[in-house]
Structure 1
Amino acid sequence: MSENLRRYQTGKHLEAFILLLLMQKPDHGGHLLNRLTAVLPEEWTVDSGRIYRLLRELEATGCLHSTWVTEDSGAPIRQYQLTDHGRLRLEEWVREMEVRQQSLASFLATYRQIVNENSSGADA
C-alpha cells in the first residue's frame, strides 16, 4: 500500500475531538460526523457508529447531557451539550496531548539527528 493511501482510525482521540467540538457548540451525531470530517486530516477515517456509541458512553459518564430537539418539519434529533464534568475530561485530554506532542517531537528530532549523522557518515 502506498504511504499516501494509508488510512488511520481516529481511535481513542475521537473522544477528545467530540468533546472539543461540543465545547464549541451543542450538536447532534450526524452533524458532528460532518464537523469531524472537516477538521480531521483526510487520512483519518471516522466510523459513524463509533460516534453514536461514544456519545452515549460520554452521556452515561456525565460528560455530556442530551435533549431531544425538533428542527423545522424533521424528526426529533438528540442534541448533545458538554457538561462541567465533560470540560474537566477535555482538560485531561489537553494535558495528555501536550505530553504526547512533546514525546513525538523528541522522537522526530532524534530520528532526524540519526538520519543526518548516517547521511554524513556515508559521505566520509
Structure 2
Amino acid sequence: MSWREQGIPLLPGLDIEEIRSLAKMGHISLSADVELLYFLCGGMPRGTVDGNWFELWPLERLLHDAKNFPYSLLPFAEGFLSAQLYCLRFEDASSASVHMDFSFDGNSTNEVAPSLDAMCGMLLEDPSALCLP
C-alpha cells in the first residue's frame, strides 16, 4: 500500500532547480534518482512514519545530517524510530544504492538495495527485506 493510500502526511515535492540549489549549498551532488525522489515527494514531516515504521527525511535534514557522515554515505531515512538508518551511496550520476548503517557512524553498513528504485519496490512489496515489519 502506498503512503498516500495509508494517509501518511507527505511534504510537497521540490522543484528540480531548488533541489540542486540546496544540494550545491550543502556541497553535495545528488544522483538523478534522488533528485526525482525529492521532486515527487519532499519527505515526511519529522516524526511521521508509515505502517512499517519507515520515515523518509526531508531534503533539508538529509543535507544537514550529511555533515556527520563519511563522504561516501548520505543518510536519508530511518526505520523503527531511529533503530535503523538508511543511507545512499552514489554509484554514478544517475543512481544511488541503499545501505543500512548499523553503527550510525558510517563504519558498519550493509547494502540493502542496489538502487533507490529497488528500495521503493521493497517498501511496497517486501518491507522485511529492509528489516522492517
Shorter-chain TM-score bucket reads under 0.3
TM-score normalized by the length of structure 1: 0.27
TM-score normalized by the length of structure 2: 0.26
Question: Which of 1 and 2 has higher RCO (CA within 8 Å, sep 6+)?
Answer: 1
